[in-house]
Chains A and B, each alone.
Chain A
């Protein structure tokens, strides 16, 4: 379904309040829009005060417009509303340092910084050959220091995540070919500068460096850097590369906001291999080396496997005879993917949308965190219609395009890959074993004892920031308040002595589960307030949540000196599993406000520890076993 731009424009003009416009935009092929259409849509959208998902500020030492408009329109088309602040030309320090700067009122979630060498060091930019090696190195240090100073200031003065563009290399070297022979050549200068930036901020979870050369290479670097527009208006990028830069910023935005999809559901025939196994037979389908199509499918499978290694769950949804499919996986040796890579197999003749729902139920995830890929337009249409929240992708005709199509997707972006991500499929499989044991056990108590669960609770430190950010941003079900803190907040919590942010790891006879939960307790005078309490859904229902609360009770009320513990339950569409948790733990509900947010309280004198059979708590010094 292709939405007409004219229709959207008309509706924006007539009734900008119309919320449907946001939905219509999702079906718009925004990459086809021209610059003036972007401008017009942007202006139309800004007439309405949509509630922003992300506040993003743009600062730089060149004219950044019209990039923010591209980001804005492209992100609305992907379901994300942004609000932007565009700093004055070359005022990136002032925006942070002047007390009257309106950047602070804007309160950015993200600041994007782009600097050009023309301004940073005109000497390097224009007269590299007239400098001595000594001077070149001094300039390198000076430029790096400018980045560092800006980043340090931004980290101190704001809570924002910082997205920093590195510096693209000039398209031609000033020394020409002879640059290779210089003792400190221009190419070396830029390589050194950029790798220094990467190295320095690799561990800083608030800073993301964009490799701008890499981004611009997607459309071609020569066309990306526009001399004429720089002389006319101090713009450095050509219009033709703005979608790529915008797309890259949106990737970071998704990672920072933690809105990555969790599960990829795949069809089989003409998706993972060429041909229909039911007709062409196990040996007739095309997969693997020796045949161009077979190689393309193989490459696609490699790309899928990579996603699995990034922590994306894979599932199969195919209309086929299960025996045929099992045979393909056991007999075709040139398949990068094996059956073990998939957590759920729905191979049958039922409707695909029903099967996708089954997969979601089996994995305890919601359908809006799923991506479905199929080559058949009818299947895709039906899933789109029945489950619009699933991101459905119809494959193009040529399998040669499959792998890049997947690599280009920004739906699975995360800022980092944690230990838990790498072992995700494994973790789910262990869980499936636990469920089997549970079904076989005589009663719940016997089952819990047989698991031999050991948990460890410790104060969070900087090493855990990535995993903590994941838990805050992605846990929906067992989450009392669903407050989505970002990396900046988390660092503050860890550094603040009046705040206790603790993480819980668990393991049992079936293996280590990694970090499965956290709590955030603030002490305010004579009471402690549980601001957040989060558990990963694969750990709930076995008493771990009770053991954790017992620990909190001990720390604050039994051994501690506080009078009471307060907690809150903020209901969402998804967190019913946590609904009765606080009353089960002995808290009393004291207030419900107009938004149905429930306040709970537990007095020191009423405090009892609750039984949690089969759970052993290890000392805080326990190190996670890998």
Chain B
């Protein structure tokens, strides 16, 4: 999962894979503007076949939180 997520993050945020630490935050990353935020969400939703709620989308502000939410949904899907 992390590899697939990183591929998307690298594409959109223009960071190196090594820089993609959980602490990377939206407000300190140049390319993480509001438009790219949505791009990120759409890409993640497509890749993992999940759907985030509007509240989740608004609350996501770091790579760590994104990983957490994706993990939660994947687990949820597996249980079904």
Is chain B a partner of chain A in the same complex? yes
Q: Is the CB of B39 within 8 A of A35?
A: yes
Q: Is the CB of B40 within 8 A of A36?
A: yes
A229 near B: Cβ within 8 Å? Answer: yes
A39 near B: Cβ within 8 Å? Answer: yes
Partner of A39, one of B11, B46, B57: B11
CA distance A229 to B57 in the complex (A): 10
Partner of B8, one of A36, A233, A235: A36
Q: Which residues of A contact B47 (CB under 8 A)?
A: 34
Q: Which of B27-79 contact A (CB under 8 A)?
A: 34-36, 38-40, 42-43, 46-47, 54, 57-58
Q: Is the CB of A232 within 8 A of B46?
A: no
CA distance A43 to B42 in the complex (A): 18
B14 near A: Cβ within 8 Å? Answer: yes
- By beta carbon, the residue of chain A nearest B45 is A239
Q: Is the CB of B39 within 8 A of A36?
A: yes
Q: Is the CB of A34 within 8 A of B14?
A: no
- Taking chain B's interface residues, is the majority helix, strand, or loop, or is none over half, making it mixed? helix
CA distance A323 to B47 in the complex (A): 56
Q: Is the CB of B12 within 8 A of A40?
A: yes
A65 near B: Cβ within 8 Å? Answer: yes
How many residues in B have their beta carbons less than 8 Å from beta carbons of A?
17
If A35-B43, A35-B46 touch, does A233 touch B38 (CB 8 Å cutoff)? Answer: yes
CA distance A228 to B52 in the complex (A): 10
CA distance A40 to B12 in the complex (A): 6
CA distance A37 to B40 in the complex (A): 11
CA distance A550 to B11 in the complex (A): 63
Q: Which residues of A contact B12 (CB under 8 A)?
A: 36, 39-40
Q: Is the CB of A39 within 8 A of B39?
A: yes
Partner of B54, one of A35, A36, A232, A239: A232
CA distance A40 to B35 in the complex (A): 13
Partner of A34, one of B38, B46, B54, B57: B46
CA distance A40 to B39 in the complex (A): 11
If A35-B46, A231-B54 touch, does A65 touch B11 (CB 8 Å cutoff)? Answer: no
CA distance A333 to B76 in the complex (A): 62
If A39-B11, A40-B11, A239-B42 touch, does A232 touch B57 (CB 8 Å cutoff)? Answer: yes
CA distance A232 to B54 in the complex (A): 7
- By beta carbon, the residue of chain A nearest B35 is A65
Partner of A43, one of B14, B34, B38, B54: B14
- Taking chain A's interface residues, is the majority helix, strand, or loop, or is none over half, making it mixed? helix
Q: Which residues of A contact B58 (CB under 8 A)?
A: 232
CA distance A43 to B14 in the complex (A): 9
CA distance A275 to B41 in the complex (A): 50
- By beta carbon, the residue of chain A nearest B38 is A233
CA distance A257 to B11 in the complex (A): 33
If A35-B46, A36-B40, A233-B34 touch, does A228 touch B11 (CB 8 Å cutoff)? Answer: no
Q: Which residues of B contact A228 (CB under 8 A)?
A: 54
Q: Which residues of B contact A65 (CB under 8 A)?
A: 35
CA distance A152 to B11 in the complex (A): 41
Q: Which residues of B contact A233 (CB under 8 A)?
A: 34-35, 38
If A231-B54, A233-B34 touch, does A37 touch B11 (CB 8 Å cutoff)? Answer: yes
- By beta carbon, the residue of chain B nearest A227 is B54
Shortest beta-carbon distance, A136 to chain B, in Å? 32
CA distance A66 to B11 in the complex (A): 15
Shortest beta-carbon distance, A293 to chain B, in Å? 37
Q: Which residues of B contact A40 (CB under 8 A)?
A: 11-12, 14
Q: Which residues of B contact A39 (CB under 8 A)?
A: 11-12, 36, 39
Q: Which of A220-240 contact B (CB under 8 A)?
A: 228-229, 231-233, 235, 239
CA distance A235 to B37 in the complex (A): 13
* B 3-33 binary contact with A (CB < 8 Å = 1; else 0): 0000010011010000000000000000000
Q: Which of A106-137 contact B (CB under 8 A)?
A: none
Q: Is the CB of A235 within 8 A of B11?
A: no
Q: Is the CB of A35 within 8 A of B34?
A: no
- By beta carbon, the residue of chain A nearest B9 is A36
CA distance A233 to B33 in the complex (A): 12
Shortest beta-carbon distance, B19 to chain A, in Å? 15
Shortest beta-carbon distance, A39 to chain B, in Å? 6
- By beta carbon, the residue of chain B nearest A40 is B11
Q: Which residues of B contact A66 (CB under 8 A)?
A: 35, 39
CA distance A484 to B59 in the complex (A): 52
Q: Which residues of B contact A35 (CB under 8 A)?
A: 39, 42-43, 46
Q: Which residues of A contact B54 (CB under 8 A)?
A: 228, 231-232
Q: Which residues of A contact B8 (CB under 8 A)?
A: 36
- By beta carbon, the residue of chain B nearest A238 is B42
CA distance A227 to B6 in the complex (A): 28
Q: Is the CB of A235 within 8 A of B36?
A: no
CA distance A43 to B11 in the complex (A): 10
Q: Which residues of B contact A235 (CB under 8 A)?
A: 38
Q: Which residues of B contact A34 (CB under 8 A)?
A: 43, 46-47
CA distance A35 to B38 in the complex (A): 11
- By beta carbon, the residue of chain B nearest A44 is B14
Chain B CB within 10 Å — which of A34, A36, A65, A229 has the most?
A: A36
If A65-B35, A232-B54, A233-B38 touch, does A36 touch B14 (CB 8 Å cutoff)? Answer: no
CA distance A32 to B36 in the complex (A): 20
- By beta carbon, the residue of chain A nearest B47 is A34
Q: Which residues of B contact A36 (CB under 8 A)?
A: 8, 11-12, 39-40, 43
List the 6 closest A-B pairs by CB distance, nearest first: A40-B11, A36-B43, A36-B11, A36-B12, A36-B8, A239-B42
Q: A36-B11, A40-B11, A233-B34 are in contact. List 7 more A-B contacts (CB 8 A).
A: A35-B43, A36-B43, A39-B11, A66-B39, A228-B54, A232-B54, A239-B46
A-B contact pairs, 5 of them (CB 8 A): A36-B43, A232-B38, A232-B57, A232-B58, A239-B42
B-binding residues in A (CB < 8 A): 34-37, 39-40, 43, 65-66, 228-229, 231-233, 235, 239
